[in-house]
Amino acid sequence: MDDIGRPVNANGYLIDEKGNIVNTKNEIIWNFWELAYLEPPKIFTFTEFSLSWIKGNLDRDVANFDPRDDELYDLDNRLINTAGYLIDKDENVIDYYGRIVFRKEVLTEKLG
């Protein structure tokens, strides 16, 4: 509990009864399944970030590709997902150095 009796998680974020991080109006900011170790993804306006760090080297649109059992690779022979982002063997989005940027668990699938 915080100083005025509202529930918080172990890291001090306000939460609702399901463990979602909420604001002071009890509106969901981050769903509980998007959290890693009770923390939201760390992408803020002051974070330096470029999509080019996580995009594969492509000469075609892979967004509509259905790989079924095949793996996708960019022109530099690096593993990518159907959106063209670099991924590791566990399907986490990585940067061009191989560092995890987004864990698979916090990503949602594009529907429709």
pLDDT in tens, the chain (112 residues): 888 999 999 888 999 999 999 999 999 988 888 887 787 777 654 456 788 888 998 876 555 555 555 788 889 999 998 888 999 999 999 998 999 888 888 776 654 3
Shared domain for 57 and 97, answered yes or no, is yes
Shared domain for 109 and 56, answered yes or no, is yes
pTM score: 0.52
Shared domain for 20 and 32, answered yes or no, is yes
Among 16, 36, 30, which Cα is nearest to 92's?
36
Shared domain for 20 and 74, answered yes or no, is no
Shared domain for 34 and 88, answered yes or no, is no
39 to 19, 20, 26, 87: CA distances (angstroms): 11, 11, 17, 22
> Domain limits at 26?
1-40
Shared domain for 60 and 107, answered yes or no, is yes
Shared domain for 14 and 31, answered yes or no, is yes
